[in-house]
Structure 1
Amino acid sequence: MKKWLFLSVWLFLVMTSRSYAVLFQEIGDAGKTLDTAILVAEGTTQINGYLEFPDAFNNLAGADLFTFWWGGGSFEAVTSGQGDFQLFLFDQYGRGLWSNDDISQLNLNARISDPDLAPGIYYLGISSYDYDPYNIFDEEIFSDGPYDAQLAPQATEDYLAYWDGAAWEGDIYYTISFSSPANVPEPATIVLLGLALGILGFLSQKIKKYKEGENV
């Protein structure tokens, strides 16, 4: 039920949105799995949010995951704030594409860029240093370094299953700025997006059941 509600809201937003710059404010706490990610409104150029310190009683804390439609072309996302942030980009199925820890040795913010990112649904994750995405085999999807390089996945199985690792204590406020706003997909593409999101929900449930069975 939750999956189809998410799908309905997503399709409504992309079909009724207009192209203009939007400042997106995280309300509550964004999830960190594909089925709990927050949908970013079309036209968003900046996200304001905060990271909560992860603990055993809060499955959402530690990392934030946002989903958005990208119309194709040059893409860049960069963080700003007082923390040592990491950024991670995943495709519509949760496969890792890019990660970055530091812009440079003197700048602990993170940046991901792609000169020709294909049109489609993507997930953008943010976490504090060393709180990382893992696959279902308990392997880190991305290498920890070099810190100032943009990295492709190191794991053969690069689908996001969960997050783990050390994290800064306390809430950390951040801003993510996009190089240009997202676009509304063509009507014919919306049907394909609906099918993709349905498959995405199915895969998320399979991963969840796999992890639950492993912990029994």
Structure 2
Amino acid sequence: MKTIIAACVASLALVSTAASAGPFIEKGDAGYSILTAMDVTHATTTIRGSLRGADSVDMYAFNWKGGAFTAQTSSNFDPMLFLFTSTGNKVAFNDDHISLQSYIGLDLAAGKYLMAINQYSFNYGGSVTGFANAPAFRGNNGNYSINFNSAINAVPEPASLGLLGVAVLGLALARRRKHG
């Protein structure tokens, strides 16, 4: 029993350690809607990605622990930054804060949120559904970073939740066998 518990704890520790390092890098297209938003898969203070061609909007889903929240862009184009609840209600929007870069700062309740970035001036002030017909990105490519004041947290992946479920099931079976 102790061996099973130790193995479960060790495997969960490995998963959580691997899941909390470095910037989150966009893989492919981060999507443009509630259904296609890319889940942030590890705790991070930076998201890095690019916009090019038909990929003119990127949207990310993440969890926030609650409290003071800031997000600021660093890019080679004029970005607009949007923050929505997980159901698509607009929380905040910013076009130009310092120079052409965007900034959002507010006290934010704990929960799941969506952050979108696109090029000025499509969907100005925006709604979450307004990105569906976004025009192509103007220019060769637009590389960006979105920097946060504190780590945003991963949206739980089905595989991680499955691993946790298997561990709990294994503990329950081992306990039943010992007492049965």
**TM-score, normalising length from structure 1?**
0.58
- Structure 2 residue runs of 5 or longer lacking an equivalent are 1-14, 156-180
Q: CA separation in 2, counterparts of 1:177 and 1:78?
A: 5
> What is the root-mean-square deviation in Å for CA atoms of aligned residues?
2.4
Which has the larger Rg?
2
Q: Which residue of 1 aligns with 2:140?
A: 170
CA shift for structure 1 position 97: 1.0
CA shift for structure 1 position 53: 2.6
Which has the higher relative contact order, 1 or 2, with Cα contacts under 8 A spaced 6 or more apart? Answer: 2
CA shift for structure 1 position 29: 1.2
Q: CA separation in 1, counterparts of 2:119 and 2:129?
A: 18
CA shift for structure 1 position 169: 2.9
SS, match of residue 131 in structure 1:
coil
Is 1:121 the counterpart of 2:112 in the alignment? yes
Q: Which residue of 2 aligns with 1:33?
A: 33
Identity %: 35
Of 78, 82, 87, the residue aligned with 1:84 is: 78
Asked if structure 2 preserves the Cα contact closer than 8 Å seen for 1:88 and 1:100, the reply is yes
Q: CA separation in 2, counterparts of 1:180 and 1:21?
A: 14
Q: CA separation in 1, counterparts of 2:47 and 2:109?
A: 22
Matches within 5 A, 1:35-184: 35-54=35-54, 61-104=55-98, 107-114=99-106, 116-132=107-123, 142=125, 160-163=128-131, 164=133, 167-183=137-153
Opposite residue 169 of structure 1, the aligned amino acid is G
CA shift for structure 1 position 68: 0.1
Matches within 5 A, 1:183-198: 183=153
CA shift for structure 1 position 171: 1.6
TM-aligned CA distance change 1:86 to 1:64, over 3 Å: same
1:23-49 residue CA offsets vs partner (Å, 9 max, x unmatched): 111111110011111001231111110
**How many residues are aligned here?**
139
SS, match of residue 23 in structure 2:
strand
Asked if structure 2 preserves the Cα contact closer than 8 Å seen for 1:77 and 1:113, the reply is yes
**TM-score, normalising length from structure 2?**
0.69
Asked if structure 2 preserves the Cα contact closer than 8 Å seen for 1:89 and 1:124, the reply is yes
SS, match of residue 151 in structure 2:
coil
